[in-house]
Amino acid sequence: MQNPVTVEVTRGNLVESRHRGLGVVVDASGKTVFSFGDAEAGVFPRSSCKAMQALPLMESGAADAYGFGNKELAFSCASHSGEDVHVAMASSMLAKAGQDVSALECGAHWSSEQSALIHQAHTITAPTALHNNCSGKHSGFVCACVHSGTQLKGYVGYEHPLQQEIRGIMESLTGAVLAEDNCGTDGCSIPTYAVPLKGLAHGFAKMLTGQGLEPVRAKASRRLIEACMAEPFYVAGTNRACTKLMQVAPGKIFAKTGAEGVFVAALPEQGLAMAVKCEDGTTRAAEAMIFALIARYFEKGSETQETLMGMANRTMKNWNGLRVGDIRVTDAMFA
């Protein structure tokens, strides 16, 4: 199946670049409400499924034992920009479990956000694992392991009990069989599994509604999603898409991006979840697609819908502030 051109980047009166994509909206029963492109194609969710990966932290009782509130829970699901509050939060979570940066196995990198990187350059000589965009998820992993008495070293490994538990959770939520043949290694060294895009969306619809889940998992899922919506800065950071999206209509939109052009969202009022993937892995296109797809489920003409469409179809300016073109979603996305 050929994925349609869903996003165009224009310059002057011409289209300069084109992005193809796939996307799907499902309800909690798994019914496809809307789709475009090959919604059954296998995609690596990458960081878009961090809320699923945070479930052991909740279900083990670790989050409650360490007194984690919305900020910590949101941060456990984050791909953050390594801003000061993020780094401090990672340290704080680790300290609750009697650990420090040395327990993290995610590796270190400078922020990929320009303003955050400039601040880092002014204040540190080199980034640590606390600055890694995944340090929240990994701090949650460390807390889950310490609380349950699981060996900490090697917690990123395919055979480690924590990753086995996450694999089981993701199989149950997405309906996909996960094994080494659809497993890759993520940027932060944990396993990432290719799942059908529709399965990914369905997993979030289950987490959103609790439908078909054990009570413990339903409660844990709901708490994580609500924490992200309540503290969107801890999920990403200044000027980041996830943060801005969850600020558009507080409590009404859950959203999480993943590398290589993946984005998921869940809408509590509508009971729907959705996932998109840009075929070529480009973030600008994944963002435009998810903004427009979410907008479809808010009342036409409402402030929320108009704000979202203004984010989906936006003007690009150059270094002198002159308009040079637009990024816009195509009709093919909604054909």
Shortest distance in whole angstroms from residue 215 CB to its own copies: 34
Shortest distance in whole angstroms from residue 328 CB to its own copies: 14
Shortest distance in whole angstroms from residue 155 CB to its own copies: 13
161 is written with which tokens? 């009990």
Q: What is the identity of the amino acid at 207? A: M
- What residues does 331 pair with on adjacent strands? none
225 is written with which tokens? 């999603």
249 is written with which tokens? 């209509």
Shortest distance in whole angstroms from residue 186 CB to its own copies: 7
Instruction: Name which of residues 125 to 154 contact its own copies (CB under 8 A).
Output: 132
The Cα–Cα gap between 229 and 219 comes to: 15
β 195-196/42-43 pair status:
antiparallel
Q: Do residues 26 and 33 touch, judged by C-beta distance below 8 A?
A: yes
- CA-based radius of gyration for the chain: 19
Count interface residues toward its own copies (CB under 8 A): 52
Options 99-107, 161-169, 233-241, 268-276: segment touching its own copies (CB under 8 A): 99-107
Instruction: Name which of residues 213 to 272 contact its own copies (CB under 8 A).
Output: 260-261
The Cα–Cα gap between 106 and 24 comes to: 31
Shortest distance in whole angstroms from residue 327 CB to its own copies: 11
| SS3 at position 83 | coil
Instruction: Name which of residues 277 to 296 contact its own copies (CB under 8 A).
Output: 278-282, 285
Q: Does 106 bind its own copies (CB under 8 A)?
A: yes
Nearer to its own copies, 11 or 153 (CB): 11
Per-residue contact string for residues 295-324; x = within reach of its own copies by CB under 8 A: -----------------------xxxxxxx
Among 114, 164, 239, 302, contact with its own copies (rule: CB under 8 A): 114
Shortest distance in whole angstroms from residue 309 CB to its own copies: 22
How many residues does this entry show for the chain?
A: 335
| Residues whose CB is less than 8 angstroms from the CB of residue 282 and which lie 6 or more positions away in sequence, other chains included | 19, 261
The Cα–Cα gap between 135 and 108 comes to: 9
Residues binding its own copies (CB under 8 A): 9, 11-14, 16-20, 42-44, 105-110, 114, 117-118, 121-122, 132, 181-189, 192, 194, 260-261, 278-282, 285, 318-325
